[in-house]
């Protein structure tokens, strides 16, 4: 039950960051994991050199792990930006330039989930203008995802840590999912249910699961408070994941937590080695 029945992947943009990027896939494999996910690794550019893309692809393939999730370009992440697609001007253009690059990289590794962070509110810009731009760009992203047989993920963050990000509840994120699906007719947009962010917003997590499990394309976890490994805070993560499983969710659960002072490999002691390989 609980952890034993889950398919876990490791987010290599928050775990194993004590290592260079190209060494992280092998480190995840050495820790017993067979699946990984990534935020967009090149925070300064949406269109890195092909040699950089090839080097990361080779590192993932050589490690024998599967890339199961990838973010589109989202500005400085981790950092203050929290997305680019709804920011008028250069940032939204950078997002558009990234769409085919990210989708092509994902396709080359069999990755079938692409996450598009909505973007912060910008002072002096009408929120309605940003929302219209966001829908336009999300529709482009959804169509690119569809071309490679992938889903588009839309995520709620939390207001204390991302006060300018407008999607800070499950209903807000699912509402955007519905708008994207209506705009494209593809029905490939899904909710990214991050239990840490939702808990930071004070949401009733069992109720969120009950309402939105069927609309969920990916789940991410960290404990609260502290955004540490399961067991370092007070969230009943094992029970919540069991509820998700019973509600029919069969996708990956992304480990998106801060490892703390012990280092990443040691932070997985809550999860027996035989339960780390995705089945």
- The answer on pLDDT for 201 being more than 70 is yes
Instruction: Please identify which of the residues 210, 256, 266, 274 carries the catalytic annotation.
Output: 256
Instruction: Single out the residue of 108, 117, 100, 130 nearest to residue 43, CA to CA.
Output: 117
Q: Are 9 and 37 in contact (CB under 8 A)?
A: yes
155 has catalytic annotation: yes
Instruction: Check if 256 is active-site.
Output: yes
CB contact at 8 A, 270 and 229: yes
Do the Cβ atoms of 160 and 200 come closer than 8 Å? yes
CATH, residue 154 = 3.20.20.150
Q: How confident is the model over 263-272, as pLDDT tens digits?
A: 999 999 999 9
Across 36-51, average pLDDT: 97
Number of structural domains (the chain) is: 1
Percent of the chain at pLDDT > 70 equals 99
Q: What is the pLDDT of residue 99?
A: 98
Average pLDDT for residues 175-181, to the nearest whole number? 98
Q: What is the pLDDT of residue 104?
A: 98
37, 91, 155, 203: the catalytic one is 155
Q: 211 is in which domain, residue-wise? A: 2-275
Each residue's pLDDT tens digit, 130-166? 999 999 999 999 999 999 999 999 999 999 999 999 9
Grade residue 2 by pLDDT with cuts at 50, 70 and 90.
Answer: low
pLDDT at 17 > cutoff 70: yes
pLDDT (0 to 100) of residue 107: 98
Q: What is the pLDDT, as a whole number, of residue 4?
A: 87
Contact 85, 95 (CB under 8 A): yes
Q: Which whole-number Å values give the CA distances from 155 to 125, 169, 173, 260, in the listed order?
A: 22, 9, 6, 24
Q: What is the pLDDT of residues 68-109, one digit of tens each?
A: 999 999 987 777 778 999 999 999 999 999 999 999 999 999
CB contact at 8 A, 134 and 91: no
């Amino acid at each position: 039950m609980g952890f034993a029945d889950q398919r876990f992947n490791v987010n290599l943009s928050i775990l194993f960051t004590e290592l260079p990027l190209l060494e992280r896939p092998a480190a995840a494999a050495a820790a017993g994991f067979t699946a990984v996910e990534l935020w967009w690794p090149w925070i300064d550019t949406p269109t890195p050199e092909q040699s950089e893309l090839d080097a990361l692809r080779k590192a993932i393939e050589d490690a024998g792990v599967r890339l199961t999730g990838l973010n589109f370009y989202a500005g400085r992440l981790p950092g203050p930006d929290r997305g680019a697609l709804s920011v008028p001007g250069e940032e939204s253009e950078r997002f558009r330039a990234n769409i085919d690059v990210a989708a092509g990289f994902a396709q080359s590794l069999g990755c079938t989930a692409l996450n598009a962070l909505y973007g912060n509110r910008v002072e002096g810009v009408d929120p309605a203008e940003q929302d219209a731009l966001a829908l336009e760009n999300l529709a482009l992203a959804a169509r690119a995802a569809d071309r490679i047989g992938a889903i588009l993920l839309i995520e709620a963050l939390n207001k204390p840590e991302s006060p300018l990000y407008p999607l800070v509840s499950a209903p807000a994120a699912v509402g955007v999912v519905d708008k994207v699906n209506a705009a494209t007719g593809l029905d490939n947009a899904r909710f990214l249910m991050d239990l840490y962010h939702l808990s930071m917003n004070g949401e009733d997590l069992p109720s969120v699961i009950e309402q939105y499990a069927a609309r969920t394309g990916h789940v991410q976890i960290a404990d609260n408070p502290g955004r540490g490994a399961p067991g370092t805070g007070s969230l009943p993560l094992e029970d919540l994941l069991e509820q998700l499983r019973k509600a029919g969710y069969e996708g990956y659960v992304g480990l998106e937590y801060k490892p703390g002072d012990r280092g990443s490999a040691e932070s997985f002691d809550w999860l027996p080695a035989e339960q780390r390989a995705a089945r």
